[in-house]
Structures are given as C-alpha cells and as structure tokens.
Chains A and B, each alone.
Chain A
C-alpha cells in the first residue's frame, strides 16, 4: 500500500491553492463532475494523489467541503471531482460559470489498497455516488490490469437515471473489467439486473475467495451488508475495505468533527480495512 501521507508537511495546511473550473460534466440529476485546473503551474506539476484521497474544495466567502477525487491518479494538471448538490458550498458551486476562480486544499486521507491487489482478484462494489471515490482505483487497476486476475465492478443505484458514469462502463469492460449493473427500481426501459448489489455479489463467481480483495463505497448500510456478504462467500474480512464519511472541517485531524471512536476519518481514513471499524459500525449515533 502506498503511504497515506508523508511524515511531515512543511507547508501550511491551511493554505489553499487557486484553481479554475475548467470543465463541468453533468452526470446524474444534481450531480456533476468538475475538472479543476491549478493556476500555479508548479502546483499543477507537483500535485499528486492516491486513489481514495479527498480534497477540501473551497469557495471563498461560502466555505469548504470535503470531496473525494474522482480522476486518474496518473494524470497531471487537472483534478476531477464528482459532486452532488447538497449544501451551501456544493449548491453555489453548481451555479458558478466555467473558468471561475475557486480553490482547494489537499490531498488528504488514506487510500484504497491498490498495490496489495497484485496477483489477486478484486471486487469493487459501488452504490450511487459512491462510485466517484472508487473511480481512481478503477482507473489505476485497469492501467495495471495484467498484474491482477479477476477484476469485477458491481454498480448499484436506486434507479437507472442515478447510475454514475454509465457511458464509461463499456470502455472499462473493453479494458478487462467485468462490470455488473443493478438497480433497486426499474422502469420499462431497463433490461438489466434488479436488486441490491449484495444480491449480485452473492451470485458472483469467485475464482478464489481467499485471494479476493473487496473495495466498497456507498451508503454505510450498503457497505456493511456488502462486507457481510463477502465474508459469507469466504472472502477474509481483512481483505475488505470501505470508505466512511463524517462531517469534516479541517481535514488534518485537528478540529475533532470527523471522529469515529478513536479514528479521525480525515487522517486515519476515509478508507479503512473493515476489521478496523467493524465493531463501531453497528453502534448508533457514534
């Protein structure tokens, strides 16, 4: 696994980098992908992130919001974020014209264990917008496809209009990923699978469960039952990873908001091995 962050950070963690909204791609209702480009060429050159890490997107005068990076970790210069309109910051962002000046701090947090997937089978399970934080891992693994055995993506959404990145699935299939799609509710235009992602995982052919890595992101209850299903299928819980979400304010482990028991989600997470957080996931209001 790649080191989540270096041991010391010489720069001021509160200093934001100016970026421009270079491109906006409408994805699903209320969800768009914003490609952000750094104003400072040297920042653009040096900015690197690991799959699963997040940035604090900053709109001066409005506020900051923690957003996972949804782009290719190998690509320099432009950083895509897939964002749902939810609060003040994201709703204001949705109204900004192209080329608007905003800012970001980052990258922060832990990452998907893509490097420990070498020689293994990988099952990625995404619910709704939960596919966005997994996309960098998908792009990384597709680039290193020959180092893996089986690679499967199970995507679920409440209905087909809420499936994220549907136009990319064929490309991903062509590059060697088994993409299985399911929706909770279907209309007459839907000809695919209906049901929960766990039902798909239940029926999935596993070459060798003991050598399978699961990465999941979506609603907490979905991730919980995804891992329960994986365990029932014989996949070791220590090989199941998920990305948790809590209120984040500082992103550097100093403000206290994102605590989940002993974990600060911003610096110890957001990506965790299931075993590390399992006992707390079923405690209400933690």
Chain B
C-alpha cells in the first residue's frame, strides 16, 4: 500500500484501473468533453508535446537518455507508454505562448483606438504532465496570476486547461526533483493522474472535471496487487534519481557571493545561447514589440519569450547593464535559485534537468552550486 496516501490532498482519490488496451478511451473521452489533447510524441529525434488523437502517436516503447549536453532516444526493453522523462518542450508553450498578441492599435479619424480583445483560449487537455511540470505550472501561476497584476493571456489559457498527470516510473540522469521537493510523485494540481503498471494505469482523480472524465472510462477496481505495483513503480523513479541539489543554503550562498570569481569561471564555458531559459518550464521573461502593417494604421503588440542571456535584455541608456556573460549567468542562476524565493516564496527550479541536458557545453547548475559552495567554504577556512 502506498505510504503517500495519508498526505495526499483530500480531493485526490484512486478511481480505478484503466487497462493498457483502453488508453485510447481516455483520449476519446477528453476529445468528447471538448478538449484538444496535447501529449508526448516523437519529432526530430526528441519527445515533444503536440496535439494527438491516437495512442499510436505516443512514444510507446521509447525512452530518453539524458546527460549534460546530451539527449538521445532509445528503444526500451518494455512497451510502456510513458517510460521516459522530460524533453525539450514544456507545457509553458501552451499557457505562456512563445509568441502572443497583447493588444492591437488601429488608426482612425479620431486618433488611435486600442483593443485587448483576444480569441477565446483553446480548451486543451495536457496528457502526460510530470510532477516537476505540475510544480512548474504552479510556479508560473504565482507569477502570472497571483501578483498585483494578472496576465490576461495566461489566465484565459490556464482556465481552459485540463491536466492529466503521469507519475514517473523512471528518472533521467539529469533529474533532481527529489531535491527540490517537486516530485517524482504527483500529489496535487491535476485533474487526473496515471501510474503506469504492467497491464494498465492506476488512475487517480484530483478534481470534479477529472472525476467526470474518469466516469466515462471502463475502469476496473484496483487490487492490493495493483496498488503495490504502482507504489513500487513510483519508488523506482525515486531510486533511479542520482543527481542532487542542496537547497537549504542557496539563498544566502548565491546572494552573498555576487562578486565571487566563480561566476567568471562559468562564463568561460557558458555560450549565453539562451537554451536553458527556453527549455526551462518556469522562466517567464518576455519582450513586447510593435509590429505594424505597411500603412502603419494597424499595429499589433507582440509578446515573445526573451532571455536574461540576451545582451539586449538589460539595455538602458545606450548600453547593456549586464555586458558580460558572467553577469548574465549570475543573473539567471541567482534569480532561479535565490531571489525567486524573495519574489515568490519558492525556488524557481523544479529539478527537471532540462537546462542541464540542453546546454551545449553541458553546464550543470547543481554542479556549479557545489563548486561555488566549496570555493566559498575553502576560502573561509583558509587561515591566510
């Protein structure tokens, strides 16, 4: 029996077992409920998120091998639907689109007229959201919904989403969600959650919408054996996780050493390519620019993802404030792991490892933190 049961939120309960052969019925039920289903599929040698209508599009029997600066797909020795970790995409591309229009302006005889009318948000069902990604969505909720200003684009998209989570049953070498306390178990923030075991999926519901979908599925009752198998499958992900990040001292360690020479050391390896910020499921920086037609009578304000690694990002009064790679890497890491805590009350990192995998030179933030900590401690112990 799962030892996690007692600390699950009250509205999370086990609904039943969906047989492997019936997974299509879940997709069909989501579509019937009016959702476009977004799920994992293979594209350009990576597992990405895209619209799916059939279980045949899922990367069944595939797994991902991840290391710093390296990602490869490989056929696994089982036929699991969800036997991989996370790829270069995250769900933020649907909730906080890489490109969106925040407002429009039209020139009229009476001057400029402005509008923020937007098409209704698509009703999307996310299939295969991992625990770290639930945490990332919760973090972006805090940024876009719970500050003094609400972002209307994020809000309308977020309100229209149904989340089908999947508990990880394996971990990539780059995963460290145990350290950030964001996984691997999905505890809340989902409508439905699946744990894949031999022969089927143990299904939990976490909301009224989730229970409504579950009610349309041919569920069987979950036996002690199923529970035990689901529990041990989830435990396996935890056991496979080798990467660690000590978090208790991060705030003061990073913000107390802004002038440490280690930032220059990272800068010799960092390409300032922005990959880490593009794949990060919590990074939220953007820039709005004006795009007008040839007459300049119709103007759109377009918001695009931006990155603190772009040199123009801090441009002011004729020059960038963060002119060096060291200052830009420092901004990223101190924000993600330290000042984020001041701003939003949590780490900005969910331990998904994407920034490690997709960094061309393979810079590993967990390792950089250790190097900085060791250097700081070595210095403080040095009697000279």
A interface residues, Cβ below 8 angstroms from B: 5, 7-9, 12-18, 20, 39, 60-64, 86, 101-103, 245-247, 249-250, 252-257, 259, 261-262, 264, 267, 280, 283-286
The A-B contact count (CB < 8 A) is 134
Partner of B111, one of A18, A262, A280: A18
Residue of B nearest to A59 (CB): B290
Binary CB contact string for chain B from 151 to 162 against chain A (1 if under 8 A, 0 otherwise): 110000000000
If A245-B316, A286-B321 touch, whether A60 touches B292 (CB-CB below 8 Å) is yes
Tell me which of A5, A12, A101, A286 contacts B116 (CB under 8 A).
A12
Q: Which chain B residues border A252 with CB–CB below 8 Å? A: 147-149, 151
Which residues of A are found within 8 Å of B110, using beta-carbon distances? Answer: 39, 101
| Stretch from B99-107, B163-171, B196-204 contacting the other chain | B99-107
A86 touches B317 (CB 8 A): yes
**Is B74's CB within 8 Å of the partner chain A?**
no
- Chain A residues positioned under 8 Å from B181 (CB to CB): none
Contact in complex: A255, B286 (CB < 8 Å): yes
Residue B113 CB within 8 A of the other chain: yes
Contact of A256 among B285, B323, B334, B342 (CB under 8 A): B285
Give every chain A residue within 8 A of B288 (Cβ-Cβ).
64, 249-250, 255
Contacts of B324 in A (CB 8 A): 285
Selected interface stretch from B231-239, B307-315, B359-367: B307-315
Number of interface residues, chain B, beta carbon within 8 A: 53
Given the interface pairs A18-B111, A257-B285, A257-B313, the reply to whether A63 lies near B102 with Cβ below 8 Å is no
**Given A13-B149, A252-B149, A259 contacting B339 (CB threshold 8 A):** yes
A247→B314 contact, CB < 8 A: yes
Query: Chain B interface mostly helix, strand, loop or mixed?
Result: mixed
CB nearest to B322 among chain A residues: A285
Residues in A with CB closer than 8 Å to B111 are: 18, 20, 39, 101
Task: Specify which of A14, A39, A61, A280 is in contact with B292 (CB 8 Å cutoff).
Answer: A61
Contact present for A267 and B147 (CB under 8 Å): yes
Smallest Cβ-Cβ distance to B277: which chain A residue: A256
Give complex CA distance A62, B288 in Å: 11
The answer to whether residues A262 and B149 also contact, given A16-B114, A101-B112, A245-B316 and a CB cut-off of 8 A, is no
Q: How far is the CB of A34 from chain B (nearest CB, A)?
A: 16
Q: Which residue of A lies closest to B317 (CB)?
A: A86
11 A-B pairs with C-beta separation under 8 A: A8-B148, A9-B149, A14-B103, A16-B103, A16-B114, A60-B290, A250-B288, A253-B148, A253-B149, A261-B339, A286-B258
A101 to B113, CA, bound (A): 10
Are the C-beta atoms of A257 and B150 separated by less than 8 Å? no
B335 at the interface (CB under 8 A from A): yes
Residues of A near B289 (CB, < 8 A) are: 63
A17, A259, A285: most-surrounded residue (chain B CB, <10 A) = A285
A283 touching B259, Cβ below 8 Å: yes
* C-alpha gap A13/B145 in the complex (Å): 13
Q: Which residue of A lies closest to B286 (CB)?
A: A255
A262 to B337, CA, bound (A): 11
Residues of B within 8 A of A253 (CB): 147-149
The 7 closest A-B pairs by CB, nearest first: A101-B111, A256-B285, A262-B342, A285-B327, A252-B149, A60-B105, A262-B339
Bound-complex Cα distance A186 to B365 (A) = 54
B112, B144, B343 — which one has the most chain A CB atoms within 10 A of its CB? B112
Which listed residue, A7, A249, A250, A262, touches B148 by the CB 8 Å rule? Answer: A7
Measured CB to CB, the closest approach of chain A to B345, in angstroms, equals 11
Is the Cβ of A102 less than 8 Å from the Cβ of B314? no
Contact residues, B98-147 vs A (CB, 8 A): 102-103, 105, 107, 110-116, 143-144, 147
The distance from the CB of B303 to the nearest CB of chain A, in whole angstroms, is 8
Q: Could you tell me if A246 and B314 are in contact, using CB atoms closer than 8 angstroms?
A: yes
A108 nearest in chain B by CB position? B149
Residues of A within 8 A of B306 (CB): 255-257
Q: Are B290 and A62 in contact (CB under 8 A)?
A: yes
**Residue on A nearest B344 in the bound complex, by CB:** A262
